[in-house]
Amino acid sequence: MGDKIRIGIAGYGNVARGVECAIAQNPDMELCAVVTRRDPSSVQVRTEGVKVVAASDVASLVEEIDVMILCGGSATDLPEMGPQYAALFHTIDSFDTHARIPEYFDAMDQAAAKNGHVSILSVGWDPGTFSLNRLYAEAILPDGSHNTFWGKGVSQGHSDAIRRIPGVKNAIQYTIPVERAMEAARSGSRTALTAREKHTRECFVVAEDGADLAGIERTIKEMPNYFSDYDTTVHFISEDELKRNHSKMPHGGFVIRSGKTGDGSQHVIEYSLRLDSNPEFTASILVCYARAAWRLSQRGESGAKTVFDIAPALLSPKSGEQLRKELL
């Protein structure tokens, strides 16, 4: 097959633009269309010659797209658009509300299976490559425990929560793993670490003129779920400084499993990421799973899948022979 895999992107935010860049790094794929809920004429796609189609006309793309990468949010977009698109296309998405994955999986499975499509959901790094490492490490060391640490990186959800406080103009929140807790995880200690022991939170806040800074700081630190269980630091800075020093989206983290074998031999398996751009890295993962979805569909498979169901070789453009020779 000399033909390229024809990719569509639904949505055109940060992750979607990352997908566009990742496709340019993978010569066996091409970006053919961007689907938007905005007025298509208002969307400027970076790659030349790419069609912009209104979401209401998405069905018109059925013959032109091999795999549709859904770049909507997990809170409200994907639960609705996911099953609807899975009925029309093979799909990839990065649904990341961990607690609702089982329910979303079922909805996607029904829509995809009924229409002979493959839908790989919850693709990215967590859920995604972090999940893979939790699974591999647990299967290898069943007598052990694992810990996931996130950061240092920007949490969009926590930044948004701060931005909703009255008197706050803008804010960025960093999640920071605690080195001492990571050392405990590596040492094989199995005492469960609390939220406070594992991560700290650092907030950079731009307040409105004359706002009650002490009140904002207290509101942040006492916010349940988001901050009250953590040691939180709040810095008030200018809009200029926020733009200059905090406009990137770095992230990363660690999955550490320690476990025992035999008569007490101790082993540590550690996987870590250090990312300049969370959306671009996530997008790069989505793109190689699009290749896998297309290959599975060519074998006649259908239904919802996760990263757990995908044989690693399906992600690479290389042949099995090449992989065994070069990477095994």
Neighbouring residues of 46: CB distance < 8 A, sequence distance ≥ 6: 17, 20
Hey, which residues between 235 and 264 contact a copy of itself (CB under 8 A)?
261-263
Q: Whole-number minimum distance, CB 221 to a copy of itself, in Å?
A: 31
323 binds a copy of itself (CB under 8 A): yes
321 binds a copy of itself (CB under 8 A): yes
What is the SS3 assignment for 232? strand
Hey, which residues between 21 and 40 contact a copy of itself (CB under 8 A)?
21-22, 25-26
* Separation in Å, CA 167 to CA 173, 213, 217, 316: 17, 8, 11, 49
Q: Whole-number minimum distance, CB 296 to a copy of itself, in Å?
A: 11
300 binds a copy of itself (CB under 8 A): no
| Window contacting a copy of itself (CB under 8 A); options: 29-37, 206-214, 230-238, 300-308 | 300-308
What is the SS3 assignment for 38? coil
Instruction: Report the residue from 197, 267, 295, 297 that binds a copy of itself according to the rule CB under 8 A.
Output: 267
Which residues in 287-297 are b (16+ Cβ under 10 Å) and which e? bbbbbbbbbbb
| Window contacting a copy of itself (CB under 8 A); options: 36-44, 193-201, 208-216, 281-289 | 281-289
Residues facing 205 on adjacent strands: 171, 236
Nearer to a copy of itself, 39 or 321 (CB): 321
* Separation in Å, CA 43 to CA 36, 51, 69, 73, 246: 8, 10, 17, 19, 26
Sign of the CA dihedral running 50, 56, 57, 59: positive
| Window contacting a copy of itself (CB under 8 A); options: 3-11, 171-179, 196-204, 277-285 | 277-285
Nearer to a copy of itself, 2 or 320 (CB): 320
Determine how many CB atoms are found less than 10 A away from the CB of residue 98: 12
Nearer to a copy of itself, 10 or 120 (CB): 120
* Separation in Å, CA 145 to CA 134, 173, 192, 272: 10, 29, 9, 17
Hey, which residues between 104 and 163 contact a copy of itself (CB under 8 A)?
105, 122, 127, 129, 131-136, 138-143
Strands 153-154 and 168-177 turn out to be antiparallel
Instruction: Report the residue from 165, 178, 193, 273 that binds a copy of itself according to the rule CB under 8 A.
Output: 273
The secondary element (H helix, E strand) that includes residue 181 is: helix 179-187
208 binds a copy of itself (CB under 8 A): no
74 binds a copy of itself (CB under 8 A): no
What is the SS3 assignment for 14? helix
Note the residues at the interface with a copy of itself (CB under 8 A): 17-18, 21-22, 25-26, 98, 101-102, 105, 122, 127, 129, 131-136, 138-143, 186, 261-263, 265-277, 280-281, 283-285, 288, 306-313, 315-317, 320-321, 323-325, 327-328
